[in-house]
Amino acid sequence: MIELFNAAEIGRLRTAGQFVAQVLEALRDAADVGVNLLEMDALAARMIAERGAESCYVDYHPSFGAMPFGKVLCTSVNDAVLHGLPHDYRLQDGDLLSLDFACSVEGWVADSATSLVVGTPRPEDLELIATTERALAAAIEQAQPGHRLGDISHAIGSVAREAGLGINLQFGGHGVGRTMHGDPHVPNDGRAGRGLPLQPGLVIAIEPWFLLGTDEIYTDPDGWTLRSADGSRGAHSEHTVAITEDGPEVLTART
């Protein structure tokens, strides 16, 4: 079911979005050579506890997960691009790290993701990250009342194709609000002018993710982490966006 939220409810989602943005900022600052992924997860868990918020991930167990996720943060490194389960791994120079974080603040959920390079970057990694960010910006620009969901999806796919990247449609954006994953599904490619009409009050997570090589993925033996089929690196960018009478509002905007 698709929910539309009023101004007061979007205000509560804005509060949740601001907290999610703060946690991702802290995680980006903490990411460094030698830092353990479990330390990153522990930092996010402390911030959740101090805020009196609730994790959306710990007990999350959809059909594609082998078991409840058990952590509060997704940490995807190099050829991992989505749902990276934090484990005992210390970041190395040049690692491409994607961080995906969602939580509930007083019953209202926001979701966001960011990618960065730890230490010395490879130019192709920086360009891949920049491409996901361009795709996200292009999609947000289309999140206007009167437009259609296909306009958002088409904007993402157009940026990917222009960069010569494949597009995987198994996972994409989604509705967000009282729960982390709701309707509508927001594919990372589509036809402009088609699909759900966008109305004020709709809140969606838009999340382009791309791989440098193949667009095929497989699930790691940990039962959660999604990796590229050919070992190529991936990047992921995501914001929670409210469609308002005045246009899109990014609820998880970072400073």
Residues annotated within a binding site: 83, 100, 111, 174, 181, 207, 238
Which residues are documented as binding site for substrate?
83, 181
Q: Which residue positions form the known binding site for a divalent metal cation?
A: 100, 111, 174, 207, 238
Find tokens 């400073």 and name the residue: 255
Instruction: Tell me the C-alpha to C-alpha distance, in Å, between residue 28 and each of 56, 239, 254.
Output: 20, 16, 11
Please give the backbone phi and psi of residue 154, each rounded to the nearest 5 degrees, phi first.
-65, -40
Which two structure tokens, joined as six digits, stand for 87? 């484990």
Please tell me the distance from the alpha carbon of residue 160 to that of residue 211, in angstroms, as a whole number. 10
What backbone phi and psi angles, to 5 degrees, belong to 15? -60, -45
Q: CA 215 to CA 203: how far, in whole Å?
A: 27
- Give the number of C-alpha atoms closer than 13 A to the C-alpha of residue 173, restricted to the C-beta side: 34
Residue pair 141/154 in contact by the 8 Å Cβ criterion: no
The sign of the torsion formed by the CA atoms of 143, 180, 171, 214 equals: positive
The token duo for 32 is: 């460094």
